[in-house]
A and B are shown apart, each in its own frame.
Chain A
Amino acid sequence: MTRGDSTAVGESGALDRRNAAWYIDKLVQVLVFVGGISAIVFIIGIFVFITREGIGFVFGELDLWEFLASPRWRPTSDHNPTYGALALIAGTASITGLAMLVAVPFSIGSAIFIAEFATGKTREALKVLIELLAAIPSVVWGFIGLTIMNPLIIKIFDVPVGLNVLNAGIILGLMAAPIMTTIAEDALKAVPDGYREAAEAMGATRWQVTYKVVLPAAKNGLVAAILLGVGRGFGETMAVLMASGHAVNLPGSVFDSVRALTATIAAELGETAVGSNHYQVLFTLGIFLFVVTFAINLTADLVVRGIRKQ
């Protein structure tokens, strides 16, 4: 018998298993592949469609220097509309910055408590509560900023307006904290128990183990958690729209009202005519938001991948 014989049998069809089940299997494989690439299709679709609406302005009338360096956002002016986004960028940055000051210590602290100190029922209860905290819709947070935080800030700090950087920053901090806590806790949990046991065998207390061993080992994951929190704060819309005061303003203190990039789109898109300069500049803001959040998410992903490689 030569080696060619067995192939010949296959070719003649005796071993051909291409029955109905085989074809269904192939069909399903194609279908789930289409589903599989849907996320890529949609993310490219988002970029293509927002660019399609905004690109004419970007390469036409947009003065990039004015866009990035002028705080004058007057898109509806009849005589001389100006499209300076600096005040909006400063608004978003100040709110997100304050939110991170609130959220980073609290979420890392909570993550350490949940992952390293809490046990059994306490841990489960905390995790469930934090998950519920993450579920509160952003419009409800905005409503809380408007109705609860606003009078509270006016009363405590004796300022005329309570809708400002402080209000939006605290609200945004509370919104970003649960996500950051969950991701930070995952990062702490990913540190092998062997590290902890080795340190404990040397007589280290639980805090020493955490501080000297677990935190350094989980460093990358914690950085990723913070980055994703920043991305979340950067892109938050409704809560910031309702709690920030929505005044175009370069903030001088936390008691100044500001306006965020996202909130500007949400507040103004409804009043613009499709295709007008104003309409297109709002899509330009959208492209800017998309590119920045994409960069943040990509960086977070690379940082996390860094840990896996180690």
Chain B
Amino acid sequence: MFTATELNQRNRKVERLFRLLFLMMAGLLILPVIIILGVLIYKGGPVLSMDFLFTEPTDGMTAGGIFPALVGTIWLVSVALLFSVPIGVAAAIYLSEYAADNWFTRAINLAIINLAGVPSIVHALFGVGAFVIFFRFGTSILAAALTLGVMTLPVVIVATRESLQAVPQAFREACWNMGATRWQTIRKVVLPNSVSGILTGVILEVSRTVGETAPIMFTGAALFLPFLPQSVMDQTMALSLHLFVISTQVPGVPEGTPYGVALVLIGLVLAMNSVSIALRMYLRGKKKW
């Protein structure tokens, strides 16, 4: 019979100790989120109503709702997507289907990592220097959305490249053997098999874009506009900037209002992320190969 020696017992004790330590560390990372969500729901929940979501702010933003900010955020996200999704998908197709493993591809990958790593305020400076001043878009939805699009491009590229690479090579080879060109193979075989993976990436990008504040501060988002934007050359309010403004710049805002805005913002972001995660898990379960 095997009986645990003193050494075995001590080892097991040490192991249990470390297991507990690491579990507590993971728990302590997650605990703040739960507390934060709790506080936001507790303090911001009572503020939320149809009126809050669908009326304009009044009395110097101390009363009324957030409708123009909500609409502005939708404008910004849509224009940013129109710009970055086609470019991002094309880049991912190039990297996954065409690029050889050489210095040039490594340079592209390094550029993608850096594009994701450059501080958001530097993206804002780029937006001002390039879109607002050089291309003469002025402070407009177009300039702000392009800045956001450049900033979130890596999200689309990385997610799309991963889902393209998950399509087995044999699928492509079978198609090539039938005499199809590279593009025919990509369009008829590779893309249909990875479209839902690309979708999860796009949803993630939306969630990221909704929350960004610094890049739009000087490129197109306004502190307060009493009307809705009519075209991409107009300025607009945005949900994220609105939260910053009413919690730091405007005196006399009722205590609950910023919590309400924060709750709407975080609700949108977490909902979108959850959809993206759920979609990913569903796809993993359904995979045919």
Q: Which residues of A contact B (CB under 8 A)?
A: 21-22, 24-25, 28-29, 31-40, 42-43, 45-46, 49-50, 52-53, 105-107, 109-110, 112-114, 117, 126, 128-133, 135-140, 142-144, 146-148, 174, 177-178, 181, 205-208, 210, 228, 231-232, 234-238, 242, 262, 265-266, 269-270, 274, 282-283, 286, 289-290, 293-294, 296-298, 300-301
In the complex, the answer to whether B90 meets A42 with C-beta atoms within 8 Å is: no
Is B201 engaged at the interface, CB distance under 8 Å to the other chain? Answer: no
In the complex, the answer to whether A136 meets B266 with C-beta atoms within 8 Å is: yes
Is B269 engaged at the interface, CB distance under 8 Å to the other chain? Answer: yes
- A to B CB contacts below 8 Å, 25 in the list: A29-B98, A35-B93, A38-B87, A53-B125, A53-B128, A110-B25, A113-B22, A113-B23, A133-B30, A133-B33, A135-B269, A135-B270, A136-B269, A139-B211, A140-B266, A207-B14, A235-B117, A237-B121, A242-B244, A242-B248, A269-B124, A269-B128, A269-B218, A298-B110, A298-B114
In the complex, the answer to whether A21 meets B36 with C-beta atoms within 8 Å is: no
Q: Which residues of B contact A (CB under 8 A)?
A: 11-12, 14-15, 18-19, 21-23, 25-26, 28-30, 32-33, 36, 39, 86-91, 93-95, 97-99, 107-108, 110-115, 117-126, 128-130, 133-134, 150, 153-154, 157, 181-184, 186, 207-208, 210-214, 217-218, 240-241, 243-244, 247-248, 258-259, 262, 265-266, 269-270, 273-274, 277
Whole-angstrom distance between the Cβ of B260 and the nearest chain A Cβ: 11
> What residues of A have a CB within 8 angstroms of the CB of B207 in the complex?
135
> What residues of B have a CB within 8 angstroms of the CB of A130 in the complex?
26, 29-30
In the complex, the answer to whether A146 meets B248 with C-beta atoms within 8 Å is: yes
> What residues of A have a CB within 8 angstroms of the CB of B86 in the complex?
35
* CB closest chain-B residue, reference A112: B22
In the complex, the answer to whether B210 meets A137 with C-beta atoms within 8 Å is: yes
In the complex, the answer to whether A297 meets B117 with C-beta atoms within 8 Å is: yes
> What residues of A have a CB within 8 angstroms of the CB of B19 in the complex?
113, 117, 206-207
Given A21-B181, A138-B120, decide whether A181 and B214 contact each other with a Cβ distance below 8 A: no
Interface centre among B124, B208, B210 (most CB of A within 10 A): B124
Contact residues of B: prevailing secondary structure: helix
In the complex, the answer to whether A109 meets B218 with C-beta atoms within 8 Å is: no
> What residues of A have a CB within 8 angstroms of the CB of B211 in the complex?
135-140
> What residues of B have a CB within 8 angstroms of the CB of A234 in the complex?
119
